[in-house]
Structure 1
Amino acid sequence: MELPKFLMGDNTDCLNDIFVIHTEFPRFIINLIDDEIEWLEDFEGADREELELEVATLIDQASEFYDREMKRYETE
């Protein structure tokens, strides 16, 4: 099965949170309400430094995905 790059996550225990799951390396879940990230990978040394440079881009992409999905829901 091929997963999309981003998925939306929902949980009724967290009514005010907006979760987006990034399914490609580096895999993570971001809460768009506060930009808190839960990494699903283990990083060491140089990997961590490279990742820190990429984080801002990944957050922007996750936010753009969410905005696009919400617009699609509004038009349905």
Structure 2
Amino acid sequence: MELPKFLLGDNTDCPDDIFVIHTEFPRFLINLVDDEIEWWEDFQGEDQTELETQVAVLIEQASEFYDREMERYQKD
């Protein structure tokens, strides 16, 4: 199975939160309400440096994905 790069996550225990899951390296879950990120990777040395340069781009991509999905839901 080929997973999409981003998935929306929902949980009724956290009704005000907006979760986006990034399924590619570096895998993470972001709450778009407060930009809190839960990383599912262990980073060391060079990985940490690369991650720091990618974080802003990944957050922007996650936000764009969410906005696009919401536009599509509103059309239906």
Give the alignment's TM-score, normalised by structure 1: 0.99
1:45 Cα deviation (Å)?
1.1
Secondary structure at the aligned position of 2:37 is classed as: strand
- How many residues of Structure 1 are paired with residues of Structure 2 in the alignment? 76
Secondary structure at the aligned position of 1:13 is classed as: coil
More helix, by proportion: 1
- Give 5+ residue unaligned stretches, structure 1: none
1:49 Cα deviation (Å)?
1.0
Q: State, as a whole percentage, how many aligned pairs show the same letter.
A: 76
Secondary structure at the aligned position of 2:13 is classed as: helix
- Give 5+ residue unaligned stretches, structure 2: none
- 2:58 aligns with 58
- 2:72 aligns with 72
1:18 Cα deviation (Å)?
0.2
